[in-house]
Amino acid sequence: MTVTQRFTYVNESDDGLSVLYFNDWNHAFANKKTALAKRFGEEFNRSLHLAKDKERGFTSIKTIVDNNYTGLNWTRMGNQDVLRIELNDVLDAGQSIQLFFTYTLKLPNSKFTSYGRNPIGEYFLKDWYITPAVYDDEWKLYNNMDLDDHYTDVSNTTIKLTFPEKLFLATNFSDGGITSFPGGQYVQLSGENRKNCEIHLTRGRRFTKHITELLTVTTDLEAKKYDNISEGISISKVAKYLHDNLGPYPHDNLLVSELDYGKHPLYGINQLPSFIRPYEEQFQFEMKFLKTSLRSYLKETLFIDRRAERWVSDAIVNYLMIKYVEEYYPDQKLVGKLSKIWGFRGFHLAQMDFNEQYALLSMLSARRNIDQALSTRNDSLIKFNERIANGFKAGLGMAYLSEYLNSQKIDSSIQSFYRNYKLKPLVKAKDFRKTIEEFADKDIDWFFDEYVSTRKKIDFKIKNIFKSEDSITLTIKNKRGTNVPISLFGLNKDSVVSKYWFTGIDTSRTITIPRGDETRLVLNYDQKIPEFNQRDNWKTLNGFFSSNKKLKLQFFKDTEDPYFYQIFYVPIANFNVYDGITPGLRIYNKTFLERPFTYDIAPTYSFLEKTVVGKASFRYRKYHGKSGLYVSNYVLGGSTSHFQVNSRFSTITPSVSFGWRPDNLISNRRQSLLFRHVNVFRNIDESIADEIDTDPDYSVFNVRFRDVDNDILNFTSWSIDAQHASNFTKVAFEMEYRKLFESNRQLNLRLYAGKFIRNRTDSDFFSFALDRPTDYLFDLPYLGRSEDSGIYSQQIIIAEGGFKSSLPNPFANDWIATANASTNIWRWIEAYGDIGFIRSTGEDARFVYDSGVRLNLVTDYFELYFPVYSNLGWEIAQPDYGRSIRFVVTISPRTLIGLFTRKWF
């Protein structure tokens, strides 16, 4: 695109300006060093780093001159998508200057952010032309990070656009009609008090204009099984809702696009494939349209700094969505039609109302200790919080306020805020606070000072209850010290018969309420308060034994039901060579939300050995602060299985571990310190007893410190491991480094060194190994841990020496030092090489090496190694070469799921 842009800049500040800054967000796609590329890397997205030059986007500026047609000096700031322009003269307060830009836009491939140019020649333009940065006593200079928070000054804009023929245009601006000419089309677009012009140029006529009584909407949102007339009725319904709850829309046209919805969808059940979605088409379409139109409505009219104070618009959007469901779909269940299906309706998840998802998903973040304050900058939020948890928590906070104050007061404050601040250039969160305080008849400092500005948890419990004929006295304890209001409900069966609000409970408080028909007292019964733990929120009034929760044995994992002791079970199957496929039953208490104490018992049956095997663990996890030492784990684990035919091993391992992380939660760096005592018991078949040259039972005390920065572009990891047993003491150091260069060549380096401090063993069972450790601590997921021939012996787990070739005498009972390296030849085909020295007592150190080709299909999950040359010579030319091929495979579902969820947390 070639652009000639005339810009009149008015200095509306009180300061004289000698430098102006402009946003050039299209240039964020120019190379691998921009803030956008860095953000992608932090979320394990390599698309921009690996992109070809023809797929990238950039801005080629030819000239920037002032109204005297004098060239101006300009530079690109920081990560390149902000322009710094030096004026020839100081621009005093109230004065204006005309600038003339001439530049060419190379649009990025739409695969990166959905905006740009797609392979079939369609164009989706957003934040595409040069716009002024905001000056608010200081310059607000923000890089494009694909966070949909472009912050630019308000302007009156006219765009004269010439574009290819056979394309259909949709825009958020007003258009003066399209004129066709041979080979192209022309249109003039205009917008007053707007931030940016969004343009969609598509091959087909996707967008439909709906002219309702209160609002004109241009949209391509649709539902396959929902007819056009019904869609129009729903759009009119939502348009009226927006008008009634916010106010009149000040522009001619509201653009509501499928592309915008795709960037901010209805997360959860709504993202299931369309053929299994459990909602009625009307509800599905209206919620989809409501969310997208609300976001567009506010973005086009409330000019708040969404990089710094996005929580304000999140609060309004999600509160109005909660209110919409309460008003029009009060009986809607979270899982829709699935709540009526036999076998599923017994789940607590099936009984939850649709709006309960806000507490569930915001608490998912809090229970994992990765929650962040609502006031956290948008570019400092981890992806799950940026996309889901913080928005839900903000909306839930407004619903909390609505219950506490009165819904009419909150509704009126939102309408007043919108009416007074729409189209104003510099709207602040403090303006929102001031508006709500004007309508509040109670103190609400807690909402802004505690709920919004901190990540403090809310957690109350009922302690003691004393009953008399006419009153009930109880103690409410504030377990976290977060001073916010708490609601108390009196229930008779499932009917609410009384409700109270209490404030000022710093630690605990004893209160007395009138006694009526209550049979239970419940804190936060309607779950409008995002409380950390609701399992201790209720007490019955029918005696001690009736207050005990009932046991609920349930198939598969469920959401947390505070009124039951939940025990889950699910069939499982494991595999190893000696036990074969071992079906069994996993019994556990872990819900979708993390909880401090969990147990996981998984007995399985070995058909080959005709006996029970399996594992069990009991864990207590204690989260601390946001950064530094943030978690402690106390675990007792055990397992039993077979390591050879008719030869069983069993382990009992108590452990304590601690975790550290930086203050910036987006960082993928983590540190851990583990203390464990591994106790191994072996029952060995008499036929192979002579082959076992160690005591069958042994114990090892292990200390391990690990520091990992799991960056997809620059991965670094190092660890120190120390082990002490009755007959040996050893230490080992391991370091791993992976770097993806700008040339798209990846280098993998690994160093390993180990030394015995003392060694009184008579075998190599506890020795360091080059290629296939004996795994005497039973940490590694070998499919056939005792195999020395056949396919299972070719499984390799990169540990200790990390060699891929099976060399003679691979053990060292004194020390070992190895280096492993690989680099890509083409895509996932790599060349690898290993070198090292190993030494056993009474022998000289030996130099060892190997090399070959690696098929790195999924790093650490599925890899193949083809040895070529080593101490054995040309392996590829030797007989039975197929036996030399090694493979890495991961079959654990939990490990594989982590590959896809890591970008969110």
Q: Inter-axis angle of helices 228-245 and 311-328, to 10 degrees? A: 120
8 Å CB contact between 371 and 455: yes
- As a whole number, the mean pLDDT across the chain is 92
- The answer to the question of residue 34 being in a domain is yes
Cα–Cα distance for residue pair 31/166, rounded to 1 Å? 32
- State residue 464's pLDDT score: 85
Widest CA span of the chain, in angstroms? 99
Q: What separation in angstroms does the CA of 193 have from each of 152, 247, 422?
A: 11, 17, 10
Q: What separation in angstroms does the CA of 151 have from each of 126, 127, 137, 195, 360?
A: 13, 10, 15, 8, 31
CATH code (residue 6): 2.60.40
- The answer to the question of residue 138 being in a domain is yes
Q: Among 516, 548, 580, identify where a domain stops.
A: 548
Q: What is the pLDDT of residues 467-525, one digit of tens each?
A: 888 899 999 999 999 999 999 999 988 889 999 999 999 999 999 999 888 888 999 98
Cα–Cα distance for residue pair 124/185, rounded to 1 Å? 17
504: left (phi > 0), else alpha (psi -120 to 50), else beta? left
Q: What is the pLDDT of residues 840-872, one digit of tens each?
A: 999 999 999 999 999 988 877 789 999 999 999
Band of residue 270 on the pLDDT scale cut at 50, 70, 90: low
Band of residue 214 on the pLDDT scale cut at 50, 70, 90: very high
- State residue 691's pLDDT score: 74
Q: Among 132, 153, 174, identify where a domain stops.
A: 153
Q: What is the mean pLDDT of residues 742-761?
A: 92
Most confident of the following: 562-571, 599-608, 683-692, 790-799? 599-608
Domain that holds residue 98: 1-153
- State residue 321's pLDDT score: 97
Strands (E), 459-610: 460-467, 471-478, 486-492, 495-502, 508-514, 520-523, 538-540, 550-555, 564-576, 580-588, 597-606
- The answer to the question of residue 473 being in a domain is yes
Q: What is the pTM of this model?
A: 0.91
Q: What is the pLDDT of residues 158-187, one digit of tens each?
A: 999 999 999 999 999 999 899 999 999 999
pLDDT at 892 over 70: no
Residue 682, classed as helix, strand or coil, is: strand
Residue 589, classed as helix, strand or coil, is: coil
Name residues whose C-beta falls within 8 Å of residue 275's C-beta, 6 or more positions apart in sequence. none
Cα–Cα distance for residue pair 271/288, rounded to 1 Å? 11
- The answer to the question of residue 196 being in a domain is no
- State residue 893's pLDDT score: 64
Residue 345, classed as helix, strand or coil, is: coil
8 Å CB contact between 213 and 236: yes
**Sheet bearing 495-502, strands edge to edge:** 495-502, 486-492, 520-523, 538-540
As for how many domains the chain has, the answer is 2
- The answer to the question of residue 409 being in a domain is no
- State residue 544's pLDDT score: 54
8 Å CB contact between 838 and 847: no
Band of residue 189 on the pLDDT scale cut at 50, 70, 90: very high
Q: What separation in angstroms does the CA of 92 have from each of 119, 249, 425?
A: 47, 35, 20
Closest alpha carbon to 700 in 776, 799, 800: 776
- State residue 50's pLDDT score: 85
- The answer to the question of residue 15 being in a domain is yes
Q: What is the pLDDT of residues 395-422, one digit of tens each?
A: 999 999 999 998 899 999 999 999 999 9
Residue 585, classed as helix, strand or coil, is: strand
Cα–Cα distance for residue pair 408/33, rounded to 1 Å? 50
Q: What is the pLDDT of residues 614-643, one digit of tens each?
A: 999 999 999 998 899 999 999 999 999 999
pLDDT at 394 over 80: yes
- State residue 409's pLDDT score: 94
Q: Picking from 266-270, 292-296, 381-385, 800-804, which range would have the lowest pLDDT averaged per residue?
A: 266-270
Cα–Cα distance for residue pair 196/139, rounded to 1 Å? 19
Q: Among 153, 169, 201, identify where a domain stops.
A: 153
Closest alpha carbon to 777 in 736, 813, 724, 707: 724
- State residue 904's pLDDT score: 74
Q: Which residues of 51-65 are buried (b: 16+ CB within 10 A; e: fewer)?
A: beeebbbbbebeebe
Between residues 677 and 538, the one the model is more confident about: 677
- State residue 326's pLDDT score: 95
CATH code (residue 468): 2.60.40.10
- The answer to the question of residue 639 being in a domain is no
Cα–Cα distance for residue pair 442/437, rounded to 1 Å? 9
Q: What is the pLDDT of residues 14-47, one digit of tens each?
A: 999 999 999 999 999 999 889 999 999 888 888 8
- State residue 36's pLDDT score: 95
- The answer to the question of residue 468 being in a domain is yes
Backbone angles phi, psi at 15, to 5 degrees: -110, 150
- State residue 861's pLDDT score: 77
Band of residue 769 on the pLDDT scale cut at 50, 70, 90: very high
